[in-house]
Amino acid sequence: MPLKKTEAIVLKSLRQGETSKILTLYTRAFGKLTVIAKGARSMRSKFGGSLELLNYISIVFYEKETREIQLLSQADIVEFFANIKLSVEKTALAMAVCELVNNLEIGIEPNPSLFKLHLEALKAINQNENPMNVLRAFQVKLLNILGIRPDFTTCSKCKNQKQGGVAFDITQGSFICEACRKQAAGMILSADSFHALRSFQRDSFASLNGLLISEPSCQQVDGFIAAYLKYHIEGLRDLKAVKFFKKL
């Protein structure tokens, strides 16, 4: 059996037998991968603490194409995300990112852009002061990778670039500006909400630290993101981790 090497993020962990673990990993080179880590729960396991949820690790595994669960040979921590592990809030948001990746059909195949975005989001949740904005930006940036990028720049009627409030047509992924809006249907977004969504799409995670969004706009933005994902991704489930976060 050939040995394969790649980097991975630990999405899910289940107990198996007396001492083992079955792990769902999102890997850079193989997409989603299920592995068994034999003896991972015993005291002197060679895996140490490397297989904890949310860890960014490098792995070696034995690949047998006919097998659904691959055998993990080695795992080492690349990044542990200490600030995430110390905060219930950050953990819930990081879990939401992992849950979303785990639920995506494109996650099954290797996708270097998705892996990069996933990793950047975890790093930003670890670092940023407003981790909720990281989850929002992750979801908006994800739409680019999924090929369903909403247009936040030009009004679909007058073709002008706009800054103000808009009516957004989720089915078309485009908007109509305030001046053209009269009878237009669509989800109303305030200037503040529209500005935030555009920043989430365009700006790096690090530069979102200074972005302040009012409470009503947060609700509008969250409503927009949820509706957009739901409309464009068939069978997408509500994120359990987000429900948990809202209860905090």
**Residue at 84: amino acid letter:** I
CB of 157 to Zn ion, least distance (A): 5
| Closer residue to Zn ion in complex, CB, 53/187 | 187
CB of 186 to Zn ion, least distance (A): 12
How far is CA 44 from each of CA 21, 34, 62, rounded to the nearest angstrom?
14, 23, 22
Structure tokens at 103: 């639920």
| Closer residue to Zn ion in complex, CB, 128/156 | 156
CB of 231 to Zn ion, least distance (A): 23
CB of 105 to Zn ion, least distance (A): 35
Q: Pattern of binders to Zn ion over 153-182, x per CB under 5 A?
A: --x-xx------------------x--x--
Candidates 7-15, 152-160, 204-212, 230-238 — which segment interacts with Zn ion by CB under 5 A? 152-160
8 A C-beta contact, residue 29 and residue 6: yes
Binders of Zn ion among residues 178 to 217 (CB under 5 A) are 180
Selection from 139, 58, 26 nearest residue 93 by Cα: 139
- Helix boundaries (H) for 104-238: 112-127, 131-145, 191-202, 215-232
CB of 90 to Zn ion, least distance (A): 40
| Closer residue to Zn ion in complex, CB, 113/163 | 163
The C-alpha atoms of residue 70 and residue 228 are separated, in whole angstroms, by: 35
| Closer residue to Zn ion in complex, CB, 30/175 | 175
Structure tokens at 182: 């009269």
Structure tokens at 68: 């659904």
Residues that bind Zn ion (CB under 5 A): 155, 157-158, 177, 180
